[in-house]
Amino acid sequence: MAKVAEKEKVQMVDIFIMDKHYQVPEGLTIQAALEYCGYNLIRSVGCRSGFCGACATIYCFKNDPQLRYALACQKAVEPDMYLTQIPFFPTAEALYNVEDLEPKEGENKLVELYPIILTCFGCNNCTKSCPQDLEVMEFMSAAIRGDYEKVYEKSFDCLMCGLCAARCPQGLQPYVMAMAGRRLRGAYLAPKSQHNLDRVKEIEEGRFDAEMEKLKQMPTDELREL
Amino acid sequence: MPYPASMEESKRKVEETRPKRLEKGLLSRIPAEEREALVNKFHPDYKKEQFRELRIGPSKGSRAPLEIADLLEGNSRIDPDRIDLDKVDFDVDVLVVGCGGAGGASALLAEENGANVLISSKLRLGDANTIGAQAGTQACDRPNDSPAIHYLDAMGGGHYVNVPELVEALVKDSPDVIKWLESLGVNWDKEPDNSYHELSGGGASRRRLHSCKDYTGLEEMRVIRDEIRQRNLHGKKVDWVEFEPAIELIMDDKGQVAGAILMDLETRRMTIVRAKAVVIAAGGMGRTHIQGFPTTNHYGATADGLVLAYRVGCPLVHMDTMQYHPTGAAFPPQILGFLVTEKVRTLGAEIVNGDGEQFVHPLEARDTEASAEIRECKERGKGVNTPTGEVGLWLDSPMIDILRGQGTVARELPAMVRQFGRFNIDMAKEPVLVYPTLHYQNGGIVIKADASTPVPGLFAAGECEGGVHGRNRLIGNSTLDLFVFGRRAGRAAAQWAKEVKLGKLTLDHVRKWQREIKEAGLEEMPVSPMLLPNYANQDRPVPGFQPLGQVSPYTPFGDRAIRWI
């Protein structure tokens, strides 16, 4: 470790992984810092670019016990950081068929599937814990009101890392509920695109088959000309 | 000020030239002959010393990158003489190796077609390159488009060496893939008139890129994953194991693929799966860091599927061509090599050099675009140097809001805005620095249009198969490939499982492989599949300690602290 630091004259930062002290070069992401300390990661690592939610991390500082939240692959280490990786979250998913999700007037499908969301008392811990900075409590309220469009809009950038569920005092799983909300919206409430349905039918009827056969047989020189 | 002073001056030049560039319009596209010459001279695929001929196996004599050749010629992780195949842990119809978009789609279609399905996932269910795909999925569903036009675009992009039957399948299934995903609950972007919001992309002559903002792959993957979970909850016959990759395929005494040996990554416990059909959907190779390039790829992208298939005698095609995405992040160092989606360019941003000058049309096919960037930096010296020793070019993202109205960047590119925003760069107002990054494996396992391979009982789908994209894949044809061939593989594997009669399970193919290695004098090669890269700093390991992952002998990481990714 020291060897690398000397060569590059990199400033070293003190961090604590599961309460154990390490020094790492300034500027590394939390994930890279773990590897720099010698961890060969199996859990808490995925796309390494902020899309999969596998590396959800809770951290605080030596003299500041306030919990903070991040994706380990996206957050650079800071002096005196105390790190805890959250490798796994059991999900308690409601049972549904997407075919049966079609919402009917006067029904709230999401409350039907997840009646427990009615116990939300608005502490806003979910929003505070979201590493994507989503307004989680807002889409929970939207679900309670049956506003599917808002659930879709407000939860769309969710990586399903599970930190909101980790911090909910009522044991709600906002990210799981929102998944059902988005699927319902995509399958039923989004307007149908007729041009796509028409094209699927045309292809099934074999409208393009002759043209495709011709192209498939065509020598490369002729293809280039087209 | 997010950019260091050393880069500020160059950034200012980009701002100064912007109004003139906007007025003048884009550079014209490079003519076909010049394009070939450019790619031949500058694309990493043409660096001869970075490739070698395979010395053993079904594609003996064909060329592969050094890093991939090592893995393909590697020794097995198992000793066949110490494994008792009579103790079967899972007995299923279809085993799916990998669970990204292609594996997920295969599992769903196999289950629908009556098979009992097990998925082996190396990391969590759905943790795959699919989830990081941003720009969209191509489908020729607009009235001014057709399968024929889509076909010609894909063939042209692939330098006309694509397998025609596979391209036909790709384009003809494409509108139905969009419809299918929507029926499962994928939220596609739509226009006010209810048609799909479709952009054009590099090498595509029509607008056919269907998107879900710039989280397209994430949306597709989480819906597929949720559907798998729901079917399992409903008692349907689809199940999975996580953190348990396949390390070797099992065959029967009739030469058919008949299952796999899995390994728990944490406990190293072995699991034996007997399966009437196996679908390999294990993705790409970015984490082998070919030629030392950083990569956009997922942690698990280590070419495992190629190794498994190669060892049971399945040939590979176009293994000497990789895709380098023209716009990987070059600054800040924390996100080096991460994908900056092509959608930034489809929305109107162009790439300019350190003096703010245009040098290439922003929507050339990816190999051409990447080659032009390398030329601009390496030959013409017009790149921008970063404090950590990288070089890059400016992707002038503020052009987007000027061309398409305030708020377009925020609306269309939330993931990108968030990624740069985390490092205090506002890409709606400031350009971002980019350079080519290792992105995609163009070639792979040989398949037919039904996703079957030349080895009986073995199917392949997604990035690990080859032939669909020729020598260069177009934007949005990868996520399409996942679902087209994933669904075909699921269907065909379920059908095969209904008809096949398995013989006695055997690992004789591994014994034979080990004899071949010995005869060719290759016993020193590393074991494979690689499973995971090894980025751990092990400068003082306990003697005899065997790390799980592997460090590439060609591009050792860790010589520079900042490249610790």
Q: Please report the domains of chain A, with CATH numbers, ordered by start residue.
A: 2-85 (3.10.20.30), 98-189 (no CATH), 194-225 (no CATH)
Q: Are residues B143 and A36, on separate chains, in Cβ contact within 8 Å?
A: no
Is B479's pLDDT higher than 50? yes
Cβ of residue B77 closer than 8 Å to a chain A Cβ: no
Domain limits, chain B: 5-30+324-438, 72-321+442-506
Query: What is the band of B560 on the pLDDT scale with cuts at 50, 70, 90?
Result: very low
CA dihedral B199, B474, B128, B259 (to 10 degrees): 130
Q: What is the pLDDT of residues A19-52, one digit of tens each?
A: 899 999 888 899 989 988 888 889 899 999 899 9
> Which residues of chain A make contact with B230, given a CB cutoff of 8 A?
93, 95-98
Fold of B72-321+442-506: FAD/NAD(P)-binding domain (3.50.50)
Q: Are residues A195 and B142, on separate chains, in Cβ contact within 8 Å?
A: yes
User: To the nearest whole angstrom, how far is the Cα of B130 from the nearest Cα of chain A?
Assistant: 9
Q: Which of B143, B194, B539 sits opposite A192 (nearest CB)?
A: B194
User: To the nearest whole angstrom, how far is the Cα of A120 from the nearest Cα of chain B?
Assistant: 24
> What mean pLDDT comes out for the span B281-299?
93
> What mean pLDDT comes out for the span B6-14?
95
Q: What is the pLDDT of residues B375-420, one digit of tens each?
A: 999 999 999 998 888 899 999 999 999 999 999 999 999 999 999 9
> Which residues of chain B make contact with A76, given a CB cutoff of 8 A?
334
Query: What is the band of A88 on the pLDDT scale with cuts at 50, 70, 90?
Result: low
> What mean pLDDT comes out for the span B112-130?
97
Q: Are residues B234 and A75, on separate chains, in Cβ contact within 8 Å?
A: no
**Count of pairs with CB atoms under 8 A, one residue in A, one in B:** 233
Are the C-beta atoms of B262 and B325 separated by less than 8 Å? Answer: no
Interface test with B, best of A3, A29, A48, A220 (most B CBs within 10 A): A48
- Residues B161-167: contacts with CB within 8 Å, 24+ apart? B161/B318, B161/B470, B161/B471, B162/B467, B162/B468, B162/B469, B162/B470, B163/B317, B163/B467, B163/B468, B164/A215, B164/A216, B165/A216, B165/B448, B165/B449, B166/B447, B166/B449, B166/B467, B166/B468, B167/B468
Q: Computed from CA positions of residues B491, B495, B500, B504, in that sequence, does the dihedral angle turn out positive or negative?
A: positive
Is B562's pLDDT higher than 50? no
Of B547 and B184, more confident: B184
Of B492 and A27, more confident: B492
> What mean pLDDT comes out for the span B430-438?
96
User: To the nearest whole angstrom, how far is the Cα of A195 from the nearest Cα of chain B?
Assistant: 6
Query: What is the band of B449 on the pLDDT scale with cuts at 50, 70, 90?
Result: very high
Contacts of B89 (CB under 8 A, 6+ apart): B271, B272, B273
Q: Which of B190, B212, B422 sits opposite A74 (nearest CB)?
A: B422
Give the pLDDT confidence score for residue A220 in this predicted structure: 93
> What mean pLDDT comes out for the span B454-462?
98
Is B312's pLDDT higher than 50? yes
Give the pLDDT confidence score for residue B561 in this predicted structure: 31
Give the pLDDT confidence score for residue B553 in this predicted structure: 54
Q: Which of B132, B194, B338 sits opposite A193 (nearest CB)?
A: B194
User: Which sequence positions of B are flagged as catalytic?
Assistant: 325, 345
> What mean pLDDT comes out for the span B70-74?
94
State the CB neighbour count (10 A cutoff) for residue A105: 4
Q: Computed from CA positions of residues B170, B171, B176, B181, in that sequence, does the dihedral angle turn out positive or negative?
A: positive
> Which residues of chain B make contact with A27, given a CB cutoff of 8 A?
333-334, 562
Q: Are residues A51 and B215, on separate chains, in Cβ contact within 8 Å?
A: yes
Fold of B5-30+324-438: Flavocytochrome C3; Chain A, domain 1 (3.90.700)
Give the pLDDT confidence score for residue A2 in this predicted structure: 35
